[in-house]
Amino acid sequence: MTWFYSGKGDEGKSSLMDGKPIAKNHAAFELIGTLDELNASIGLALSFSSDETVRSDLLYIQKSNSKLMGVIAGLAFTDANSLADLTKLLNWIEERIQYYGGDVENPRQFIFPGTTSLGAALDMSRTIVRRAERRAVDFREANPDMDKSISAILNRFSSLFFLMRLYIDHM
């Protein structure tokens, strides 16, 4: 059954939405791959969460992150039933940061993950999105026309995951 694989990437090349073959270690694929890892880590966090607000937010982040991967691959960030644009997503993240940070004290020290399984999974998501931020710098250097809000979104995601973790671990 060959529909399980195409074999097109066997030589180390693939393509984005424009169809032009590029190396699989291209900055776009590095960033998209890191965001894909982020979605997997969010899935892990979801598997530990019973809080409906956290679950809803994590599902929204996964969907938004998938759309972000599409933007990097060359798709427009619009959907009649979802996000209007990157600015709307950035505003949503900032609102959620305020929600989760509302009653959480800044620990002002390094905190080791592991208080709860969900908190540890959220911390894993935070570290993966930090790597995505670094990959976005490489991508922007290769694509100077990259929307600057992509970097801002990734930076805010890391803050959001940190605060979600503190919120969960101190409930």
Tell me: pLDDT of 47 over 80.
yes
Residue 13, strand partner residues: 23
pLDDT value at 104 more than 90: no
Checking if the pLDDT of 153 tops 90, the result is yes
Q: Are the CB atoms for 122 and 43 separated by under 8 Å? A: no
Q: pLDDT band at residue 60, thresholds of 50, 70 and 90?
A: very high
Q: What is the pLDDT of residue 105?
A: 77
Select from 70, 97, 100, 105 the least CA-distant residue to 86: 70
Residue 43 included in any domain: yes
Domain count, the chain: 1
d(CA 143, CA 152): 16
Asked whether residue 5 carries a pLDDT value surpassing 90, the answer given is no
What does the block give as tokens for 137? 């710098």
Task: Give Cα separations from 162 to 100, 125, 138, 167 (angstroms).
Answer: 9, 9, 24, 9
Q: Decide if 155 is inside a domain.
A: yes
CATH number at residue 59: 1.20.1200.10
Task: Tell me if 93 is assigned to some domain.
Answer: yes
Pick the more confident residue, 129 or 27. 129
Percent of the chain surpassing pLDDT 70: 86
Strand partners, 14: 22
How large is the average pLDDT for residues 63-80? 78
Q: Is residue 28 part of a domain?
A: yes
The answer on pLDDT for 140 being more than 60 is yes
For residue 127, being part of any structural domain is answered with: yes
Q: Which pLDDT score is estimated for 37?
A: 98
User: Is residue 72 within a helix (H) or strand (E), and if so which, with residue range?
Assistant: helix 52-73
**pLDDT tier at 27 (50, 70, 90 boundaries)?**
confident
Q: Is residue 3 part of a domain?
A: no
Number of Cβ within 10 Å of residue 23's Cβ equals 12
> Would you say residue 122 lies in a domain?
yes
Q: Please indicate, yes or no, if residue 18 is contained in any of the structural domains.
A: no
CB distance 49 to 118 below 8 Å = yes
Q: Are 40 and 148 in contact (CB under 8 A)?
A: no
**Residues 44/149, Cβ–Cβ less than 8 Å:** no
* Tokens 């607000």 -> residue: 53
> Which domain covers residue 65, as residue numbers?
24-104+112-169
Distances (CA, A) of 15 to 22, 24, 26, 123, 132: 6, 8, 10, 32, 20
What average pLDDT does the segment 62-88 reach?
75
